[in-house]
Chain A
Amino acid sequence: MATETLPSVLVTTDWVAQHATDAAVRVVEVDVDTTSYDQGHVPGAAGWNWTTELCDTLVRDIVPVKKLEELLGKSGIDNKTTIVLYGDNNNWFAAWAFWQLKVYGHEDVRIMDGGRKKWLAEGRDLSTDKPSFPAKTYKASGPDLSLRAFLPEVQQAVAGKKAALVDVRSPQEFTGEILSPPGLPETCQRGGHIPGAKSIPWGKNCNEDGTFKSFDDLKALYAAQGITGDQPVIAYCRIGERSSLTWFAMKHLLGFKDVRNYDGSWTEWGNLVGAPVEKP
């Protein structure tokens, strides 16, 4: 997005370069490839591992509240801290972290527009030092489940058509030609999509440099598929991280009131016995 139109939930790489070590700011890298942080990160940034620190590692679920409070506390974050998230793949898991922080009520959380990709392409400083932070106490609120869709709500959306479903996976995943993104493990028994879902791949939210498209372009993108924000919307992908990015775009860039992320996504629906599947 152009700097002059950045909403409060987005910051530029320039802003991060100037404020990354401010006492009231904590920059955090969250990647799909959890080794990316070790290959160099924004100086002063913490690194969170989504596979161990941003989920429940026993039950399939988002991070439990106590675990999140501990993670934030040891990252030197309290309830007043401005958290700036960024990561690889145009911020997929940065958006996943953003979504969970909003579920648990953090007030000031932002995303670095363009993510790791833009920072690298601009040749900005990288550090391999792992900073340590003075521990703080964090008290989460929520969870705000109005931001999250569970299976029964998705089933109701299919049956009653009261909520729009947005499938943000690639067209090949949507049609069932492939069961997972190329090179990644297949994690479902059936290919295709949830009946009635509209295909709006996550990448259409972004420009080539990884930044988000303008408000007008995003509005037109969703309106072209009948998604205008005047009815509830549920976004899904394979495991819920790409749909976090689309959730972010619809909820925080377009301002749609009722947008939920279905983090069960295709790894839940595509493995359900008897669940209806539409192809292509």
Chain B
Amino acid sequence: MKPEHYSKRQQELAGWPVTIETYKLGDIYHCSIANVDPGARFARADGATREEAESRAIEKATRYLAQTRRFEV
């Protein structure tokens, strides 16, 4: 199968820049979210539509990112 409707974009979630990558394989949209630096995937979700997959992944990512603390240096 070929992945369809591939997209990748950067935006900010909970104060952190992230990359949101989505594609459709068969009938399922797969979305994964990675921090921009260092580039680790840390949240993903599937859905019947792009919007569903992305909103689920974004909800998870926002929750995880909220737990990352910043320290003064």
Interface residues of A (CB under 8 A from B): 31-33, 35-36, 39-40, 88-90, 92, 120-121, 123-128, 169-173, 175-186, 191, 201-203, 242, 279-280
Task: Find out whether the CB atom of B6 lies under 8 angstroms from the CB atom of A123.
Answer: yes
B46 contacts which chain A residues (CB < 8 A)? 39
Task: Find out whether the CB atom of B37 lies under 8 angstroms from the CB atom of A40.
Answer: no
Task: Find out whether the CB atom of B42 lies under 8 angstroms from the CB atom of A170.
Answer: no
Rounded to whole angstroms, the CA-CA distance of A63 and B48 in the bound complex is 38
Task: Find out whether the CB atom of B1 lies under 8 angstroms from the CB atom of A125.
Answer: yes
| Given A40-B30, A120-B6: A183 touches B42 (CB 8 Å cut-off) | yes
| Given A39-B25, A40-B3: A242 touches B68 (CB 8 Å cut-off) | no
B71 contacts which chain A residues (CB < 8 A)? 176-179, 191
Task: Find out whether the CB atom of A183 lies under 8 angstroms from the CB atom of B37.
Answer: no
Rounded to whole angstroms, the CA-CA distance of A183 and B71 in the bound complex is 15
Pick the contact of A120 from B3, B41, B68, B72 — CB < 8 Å? B3
Please give the number of chain B residues whose Cβ is less than 8 angstroms from any Cβ of chain A in the complex.
35
Q: Give chain B nearest CB distance to A200 CB in angstroms.
A: 12
- Chain A to chain B contacts (Cβ below 8 Å), 13 pairs: A36-B41, A39-B25, A39-B30, A39-B44, A92-B40, A124-B2, A127-B1, A178-B71, A181-B35, A182-B37, A182-B65, A186-B69, A203-B39
Task: Write the chain B residue with the least CB distance to A175.
Answer: B73
Rounded to whole angstroms, the CA-CA distance of A175 and B67 in the bound complex is 19
Pick the contact of A89 from B34, B65, B67 — CB < 8 Å? B34
| Given A181-B38, A203-B38: A123 touches B3 (CB 8 Å cut-off) | yes
Task: Find out whether the CB atom of B73 lies under 8 angstroms from the CB atom of A279.
Answer: yes
Q: Give chain B nearest CB distance to A78 CB in angstroms.
A: 30
B20 beta carbon closer than 8 Å to chain A: no
**A-B contact sample (9 more), CB < 8 A, given A128-B1, A178-B68, A203-B38:** A89-B40, A90-B39, A92-B40, A181-B38, A181-B42, A183-B33, A183-B43, A183-B61, A186-B68
Pick the contact of B68 from A35, A123, A182 — CB < 8 Å? A182
Q: Give chain A nearest CB distance to B21 CB in angstroms.
A: 8
Task: Find out whether the CB atom of B40 lies under 8 angstroms from the CB atom of A183.
Answer: yes
Q: Give chain B nearest CB distance to A172 CB in angstroms.
A: 7
B67 contacts which chain A residues (CB < 8 A)? 185-186
Rounded to whole angstroms, the CA-CA distance of A22 and B46 in the bound complex is 32
Task: Find out whether the CB atom of B44 lies under 8 angstroms from the CB atom of A125.
Answer: no
Q: Give chain A nearest CB distance to B39 CB in angstroms.
A: 6
Q: Give chain A nearest CB distance to B15 CB in angstroms.
A: 9
Task: Find out whether the CB atom of A181 lies under 8 angstroms from the CB atom of B40.
Answer: yes
Task: Find out whether the CB atom of A183 lies under 8 angstroms from the CB atom of B35.
Answer: yes
Pick the contact of B35 from A123, A182, A202 — CB < 8 Å? A182
A182 contacts which chain B residues (CB < 8 A)? 16, 18, 35, 37, 42, 65, 68
**B32-71 Cβ-contact flags toward A at 8 Å (1 or 0):** 1111011111111010000000000000010011011111
Task: Find out whether the CB atom of A184 lies under 8 angstroms from the CB atom of B39.
Answer: no
A202 contacts which chain B residues (CB < 8 A)? 38
Task: Find out whether the CB atom of B65 lies under 8 angstroms from the CB atom of A183.
Answer: yes
Rounded to whole angstroms, the CA-CA distance of A201 and B73 in the bound complex is 19
Task: Find out whether the CB atom of B37 lies under 8 angstroms from the CB atom of A32.
Answer: no
Task: Find out whether the CB atom of B35 lies under 8 angstroms from the CB atom of A35.
Answer: no
